[in-house]
Structure 1
Amino acid sequence: MNKLTTVDASVVCSTGLVRTSNEDNFYLNGLFMHPHERSQSIRLSYGETCREMIFAVCDGMGGEALGECASLTAVSELKDFHDTIWAGKSCSDITGMLTLMEKYVDKANKSIYEISAQNSVSMGTTLAILLIFDGQSAVLNLGDSRIYLARENSLEQLTVDHTEAERLIRLGILTRHTAKGHKSRSLLSMHLGIPPQEGRIEAHTGCILPLKRDDVFLICSDGLTDMVDDDEIKETIQACGESSHMASSLAQRALQNGGKDNITVITVKIEDICYIV
C-alpha cells in the first residue's frame, strides 16, 4: 500500500551581508533559482501532497560566476533526473530513488568538471539532498551543506561534513569546539566537480527513516551553520509553526550574527502521511 505525504516547505536564499554575488542554489521539488534571480533574495513557499519529493541545497565554489555555474548545473541536472522519476518509470521505492541519485551524482560531477576543464578554471559545489518516498525519507550529501531533522524535542544532523576539520575531529586531534575556529573547517574533501581521474565520488547516504507528523527537515548551506549554532537552530525551529516562519527566522539569525556568506535555508515540515490504495 502506497503512502502520500503532505508537506509545508519554504526556502530563503540570500547573498548575505558581505558577499557581492550568490553562489548558492536550491531545489524545491522542481523549483530552483535561475541566473536572472541572483541579484535578489529569494523567498518561496511550497505546499504539496504526493508520493515522492526532492529538496536540495548546493553551495557553489570558485568565485562569483564559477560558483554560480556549478550550483546551477547541479540543480538543473537534478531537475532532469527528477523528471525521470515523475515519469513513473525509474523506481518503485526509496531505495530505487537512492540508486538513481548515485547516477545523478556521477552525471552532475562529470558535467561540472567538463565545464571547468573547457574553460581552464576550477569550480565545484556542495550537495545536500532530502528524498521523500512512500512515507519514508533518506538523505545524501557531498561537502559541508547539511540536513537536520527536528523531531519532538531533539535536533539531529543527518549528514556528514566532508571537511578536513571533520577528519581531524574523528582522529581526536580537534574537538567540536576547537574545530569551529580552525582553518580546516572550510577545506572540503568531497564535492561535485572533482576530476574523474581522481576516482569515482560517492555521496554519504544516511539511514532510511519513516516520517512522522510534525517532523521538520532543515537543509542549509554553511552560510547558516557558520553563523548560527545548533542550539539556536533548535530553539528557532521550536518557536515557529509554519515553514516560512522557520526559514525566514533562521536566515535572519544568520544575518544578525554577521551574514558573512551566502545563506540558503530550506525547511520542510511534515503535515500528514496517509495511505492510498
Structure 2
Amino acid sequence: MAELKWGAGTHPGQIRAQNEDNLHVADGVFVVADGMGGHEAGEVASHIAVERIRQALETDGHLTAEQVVASITEANGDIFRAAIANPGQAGMGTTVTAIAVIEDPMAGRGAPNIDDNDPIDTDPDGNPRVTPVVPLEQPEALVLANVGDSRTYLFRHDRLRRVTVDHSYVQELVATGHITDDEARYHPRRNIITRALGIEPDVKVDWWTLPLIRGDRFVLCSDGLVDEVTDDEITETLRSHPDPQEAADRLIHLANAAGGRDNITVVVVDVLDGDDPPDPTQEIDLVPQWADDTVPTPFPPPVVGEPATLAELGGGEDADDATPGKRRRRRDRRANAAKQAAEAAAALEALSHPSDDDADGNTTGDESGESSDAKPGKARRPRLGRAIAIFVVVAALLAATVVLGAWARRGYYVDFDDDGDVTVFQGRRGGVLWIDPTVESGGPSRDDLDDASIDLVDEHPTFSSRTDAEAFVAGLDLADETHETDADALTDDDVDPDVTDESDTDETPATTEG
C-alpha cells in the first residue's frame, strides 16, 4: 500500500445547528459527503453514502477503479430507496468526492520486454507467445471520483489545481458561455446542484485515474470551505502548513472566520512515496473516464494564479470560481428541475449561435455569415429556419415558466419561520427553483405554544386556502392558557342583588285600550 499521511476535520459552521457533512479516512480510501434535504435527512443521506462506500471498499487486496465507482452507485441506490421508504426523508441526497489507492490500470498492458535469448512458448495453435513478468508488488495509482459540488484539489509544485468539476447550475451556465466566472460568484441560483446521490435511481459518476506522485497533496472538501475561502487562501495555507492535520484545521478555522454559513469538512492527503515529480512546467492532463461514455471528454482546470492557455483548458473551465458564503440552500427536490432548465438554456444558446457552416457545408468567410462559395439564397434559408426554431423554443420556455409559477404558488402551509413564530406561507414548501414561498400572515411564537400545538406545526400542515390555514393557526393552544366556559367564569359576585329578572315577577304590564 502506498505510503500516505493525512489530516481531516469537520465542523457545523457558525449558522447551522447540526452537521450534515460526513467523512471517512482510512488507509487508501478518503471520502467527503455533503448531505442535503434538511430536518436531519441530509445527515442521514451523507451517513448512508459514507458507510456504503466504506463497507464496499474494505478489502485486503488491491482495489480497482471499477470497484470505487460501483460503491458510489450502490450508495446512490441505498439513499434513493431509503427516501422512498421514509416519507419524512423524501428528497434527501448528498454530494460525494473520494480518492482511493487502486491497482495501476496500466500495469501489464505494454509489450513484454524480451530479447532473442528469451525462451518462447507456443500456444495450442502453434503460435509463439511469451508471458510477461509480473512484478512482486503490483504498481499502484489513484482514482478520483465525484458527484455534486464537493471538490478535490491537487497541490503540486506550490500550485493549486481543481481536479473535479462541479455539478451545479451556475457551472453549466459558465461551461455553455451564458455567464462568466465572476458572474457565477454572485448568481442568485448558485446554490442549485444538478447531480447528487439519492435523487434518482441511477447516477452518473465522474472519475479519473492519476499516478502516485511523491510530494502531491490532495484536498477533499465540502462547499462550506470553498464558499468562504478563496483558492488563493487555500494555496497559502497548504504552502505554510506542511503537516496535513494542521492544514485541515487551519482551513476549517478560515471558513468559520469568514462566516461559516455552511457545514465545513476538509481532508488533506499527502503522498509520501511514489513516482518522481514531473517537470514543474509540465501541466496535468486529466481525462474523466465516464463510465457510460465511449469517448471521454477532457476537463483539466487551469492552475490557480496563472493564465490558462487554450491547450491547458482542453474544453474545461477556470478553477478559481470561489463564491461568497451561501445562504440557506434550498436544494432538495430541485436537482432534476435545475438540470432540465440548464439543458433548455444550452439548447437555446446553441440555436441563437449557429454553426458557421451553411446547409451545403460551406464555411462562411466573414462575420456577415455570407460564404465565399455559397449562393445568397442558400445562406438565408437556414437562418430563417433557425429563427423559427428559436421562436418556438422561447415560446415553450415562457409557457413552461407560467405553468411552473402557477404550480409553485399553489396552496398554503403552516410552519415556524426563522424567528420561531408560527407563519402561514403560500407556495411549495422549500420553494421551486427561484420561486420561494411568501409569508401571508403570522401567529404566536413557538415558546407560547403547548407541546401538542408545537408538534402540529412541526408536521407542516398544508391547506387549499388561506382562510383554512389561518383558522388552523387560530385554533392552536397556548402553553399558559386555561379554557373555561362562560358559565364557569360567572361567579356569584358578578350578580347584582338589586337587579331581578322580569320573568320572576307576577306583574304584567298595564295595557290601555283606545
Aligned counterpart, 2:136 = none
Partner of 1:146: 151
Amino acid at match of 2:85: Q
Greater Rg over alpha carbons, structure: 2
1:237 counterpart SS class = helix
Task: Report deviation, 1:153.
Answer: 2.0
Distance 1:58 1:64 in 2: 17
Q: Deviations over 1:141-198 (max 9, x none)?
A: 00000000000121111111000000000111111111111122211111100222xx
The aligned residue for residue 191 of structure 1 is: 196
Q: CA deviation at 1:80?
A: 1.2
Q: Which residue of 1 aligns with 2:35?
A: 60
Shift of 1:138: 2.0
Counterpart in the other structure of 1:16 = 13
- 1:258 is matched with 259
- Matched residue of 1:139: which SS? strand
Distance in 2 (alpha carbons) for counterparts of 1:135 and 1:273: 9
Q: How does 1:30-109 map to 2 (within 5 A)?
A: 53-83=28-58, 86-88=59-61, 97-109=64-76
In structure 2, give the amino acid aligned to 1:61: M
- For CA contacts below 8 A with separation 6 or more, give which structure has more relative contact order: 1
* 8 Å CA contact 2:57, 2:68 repeated in 1: no
Q: Secondary structure at the match of 2:3?
A: strand
Q: Deviations over 1:78-131 (max 9, x none)?
A: 111112xx143xxx5xxx622112322221111101111111221000010112
Aligned pairs for 1:115-194 (under 5 A) are 115-120=82-87, 121-133=90-102, 134-194=139-199
Aligned to 1:42: none
Query: Are the counterparts in 2 of residues 102 and 202 from structure 1 also a CA contact under 8 Å?
Result: no
Taking the aligned partners of 1:213 and 1:175, their CA distance within structure 2 comes to 36
Alpha-carbon displacement from aligned partner over 1:208-231 (angstroms, at most 9, x marks no partner): 222222211000000000000111
Q: Secondary structure at the match of 2:154?
A: strand
Distance 1:183 1:98 in 2: 37
Query: Does structure 1 conserve the Cα–Cα contact (< 8 Å) formed by 2:57 and 2:67?
Result: no
Contact 2:224–2:262 (Cα < 8 Å) also in 1: yes
Query: Unaligned regions of 5+ residues in structure 2, if any?
Result: 103-138, 276-514
Residue 26 (1) aligns with residue 31 (2): no
C-alpha distance in structure 1 between counterparts of 2:165 and 2:66, whole Å: 19
In structure 2, do the counterparts of structure 1 residues 87 and 8 end up closer, same or farther at CA, with 3 Å as the change threshold?
Answer: closer
Cα distance between partner residues in 1 of 2:227 and 2:248? 16
Corresponding letter in the other structure for 2:170: A
3-state SS of 1:187 partner? coil
Secondary structure of the structure 2 residue equivalent to 1:272: coil
Partner in structure 1 of residue 280 of structure 2: none
Please report how far the alpha carbon of residue 60 of structure 1 lies from its aligned counterpart in structure 2 after TM superposition: 0.2
TM-score (norm 1): 0.82
Shift in Å at residue 267 of structure 1?
0.2
> 1:77–1:108: 8 Å Cα contact kept in structure 2?
yes
Give the secondary-structure state (helix, strand or coil) at the position aligned to 2:99. Answer: strand
| 1:13–1:264 CA contact under 8 A, matched in 2 | yes
Shift of 1:72: 0.4
CA separation in 2, counterparts of 1:183 and 1:119?
A: 31
Structure 1 residue ranges, 4+ long, deviating more than 6 angstroms after superposition: none
Contact in 2 for aligned 1:22/1:64 (Cα 8 Å): no
Match of 1:33 in 2: none
Greater fraction strand? 1
Q: Distance in 1 between matches of 2:252 and 2:30?
A: 18
**TM-score, with length taken from structure 2:** 0.45
User: Match for residue 204 of structure 1?
Assistant: 206
Letter in 2 for 1:231: D
Q: CA–CA distance in 1 between the matches of 2:10 and 2:259?
A: 16
In structure 1, the partner of 2:79 is: 112
Secondary structure of the 1:190 match is coil
Q: Is the 8 A contact 1:138 1:209 kept in 2?
A: yes
| Structure 1 CA distance for aligned equivalents of residues 188 and 207 of structure 2 | 26
Secondary structure in 2 matching 1:5: coil
Q: Output the aligned Cα RMSD.
A: 1.5
The question of whether the paired residues in 2 share the 8 Å contact of 1:163 and 1:184 is answered with: no
Q: Distance in 1 between matches of 2:11 and 2:242?
A: 22
Unaligned runs of 5+ in 1: 30-47
